[in-house]
Amino acid sequence: MTDDNRLLAGRYRLGELIGRGGMSNVYSGRDERLGRQVAIKLLKSSLAGDPVFRTRFRQEAQAASRMAHPTIVRVFDAGEERVAEAGGFEGIVPFIVMEFVEGRLLKDVIKEGALDSAEAIRITEGILTALEYSHRAGVVHRDIKPGNVMITHGGQVKVMDFGIARAISDSSATVAQTTAILGTAQYFSPEQARGESVDARTDLYSTGVVLFEMLTGEPPFKGETPVAVAYQHVSEMPVAPSSINMLVSPAIDQVVLHALAKDRFARFQSAVEFRTDLEIAGSGKIPSKRVPADDFQSSLFGAPPSLGQGVDSPLTQLAGDDEYAVRTQSRPPVVWIWAGIASVAVILVAIVFWVLTLQPSDQLPSSSREIPTVTGQTFDAADATLRQLDLVTARFDVYSDTVPEGQVVDTAPPSGTIVSPGTVINVNVSKGRQAVAVPNLTGQTTAAASAAITAAKFVVGQTIKENSPDIAADVVIRSDPASGSQGYAGDTINLVVSSGMVTVPDVAGQPIDVATSTLTGALLQVTVEQDPGCKTVVSNPVSSQSIAAGDAPQQSAITIRYCTGP
């Protein structure tokens, strides 16, 4: 029968088909009772043949419906619709009624190519915000992938299908059904691929895969079959996103590779931690390493809000422990107790023997790297040395007064530090000495000029006295090198300062008008007198001056006499 215009549960009117998946079809719809537009997901009837699935599905739909957050597509209702199938049989079609979101699936956005790093970070932060809320509510998504993330026309991120993957994976559904509900193996965590129990960190790994795909346009692992891809998630290390997209920074590389750690205790332990490091990397800084929390449950969630009481509590759901062993014997037999004591004793003796015979070794374990000394090398040589140790380099150009331009000054962390493979090492490369402009010292006192030289990281050199007619004593006339010229930190600056004296010229024999002009130019106080005793000479030459040629205090009074004839 056709799905068009069908009325579900006497309330929800199906509209046009707007999405198709491996385990469901999605329709636009209308809630006739409340008069609002909704999205209706019809699960395939093959999934409903298992009564365990139907029970689990109702429980998980109820849990998801209690989550109200702007980054999560709301679940309004869920139920089952009985339909007549071919052959006269009556089938059951489970359905869920969700918030209708106008926008695009993230998988369709990625098909157009890699996203800008800033946009990829923004979308990932939205996914992590949704996961932070759901994890604190005790709900693990288990199927984070681009097909489950909507981007509204306004750019808001919304995550959907919370709880549905849990319903499938915890039921007795077939492997094919489970694969359909959990999506392709490209977004599996290693623990999912191994069939182990999952927790919140599984969602964080899948989010790391989605971030990798947004940055590069392709997932970190690809293969001809889902089994081949799942094997890579378990056994192979992903490449850095920057090896595919050179625009990705080393800081973002580190965050992605941290999220994709095989060991769940080595990756991010919470959505908050993941989002915080992503914000730091987005600002261009390298996030600091974190030590995994001792108690994952308490450090990740604290005291989460309960979705129900009893044995199936949120923390139990996160751990995947829905089955409990029942003890049928009050305590183990006495023989077992003594056997256990003997075993512990043997182990203690072996440990003591091993410690006493342990020889010191300089060899590092394969999971550790010691940062070598690369000071004085070119960046290319240092980069090659560090990459051979599986370390990631980030170049920073700095000024150095001691290391020649183009050579490595130092690294951060410094040489000799023990780090893990993949750690980002900041390599500081010398730009040579930093050029500094000589400050303007003219007109300053000797003390003030010396202080300015020291503040500009120069060295005060010689102080040379020089006569000046108009500059007061101990005031700078000029500097060597001159003000405004370029120098380097540590260079010597010499000062030429006024002696407070003026140089008196010898004007004897000069015409009186020329002599008067010369002495006035030296700012001397000139008095002119006649000398009738000397023989008349053309232009009235100077016959004598009261201050001999040489040094005299500034503004000195000088008298000159000139010949007038008998």
Active site residue ranges: 143
What's the count of helices (H) and strands (E) in the chain, helices before strands?
16, 24
Q: Which helix (H) or strand (E) holds 177?
A: helix 175-182
For tokens 């005031």, what's the residue?
475
Read off the tokens for 302.
Answer: 């604290």
Distance in angstroms (rounded) separating the CA atoms of residues 149 and 56: 23
Residues 95 and 8 sit within 8 Å (Cβ to Cβ): yes
Give the rounded distance of the alpha carbon of 330 from its chain centre. Answer: 55
Residue 42 tokens read as 């019809």
Give the DSSP letter of residue 142: S
Spatial CB neighbours of 27, under 8 Å, sequence gap ≥ 6: 3, 14, 15, 16, 17, 18, 39, 40, 41, 42
Give 286-304 as a DSSP string: PPPP-PPPS-HHHHHHSSP
DSSP strand pairing (75-84 vs 149-152): unpaired
Q: What is the DSSP letter of 282?
A: H
> Are the C-beta atoms of 98 and 39 separated by less than 8 Å?
yes
Residue 20 identity: R
DSSP 308: -
Tokens 């997901």 identify what position?
A: 41
Closest-CA residue to 565 (of 538, 527, 528, 529): 538
d(CA 565, CA 421): 105
CB atoms within 10 A of CB 485: 10
| Contact in structure between 68 and 74 (CB atoms under 8 Å) | yes
Helix (H, G, I), strand (E, B) or coil at 58: helix
Q: How far apart are the C-alpha atoms of 476 and 473, rounded to whole Å?
A: 9
Cα–Cα dist 360/552, whole Å: 83
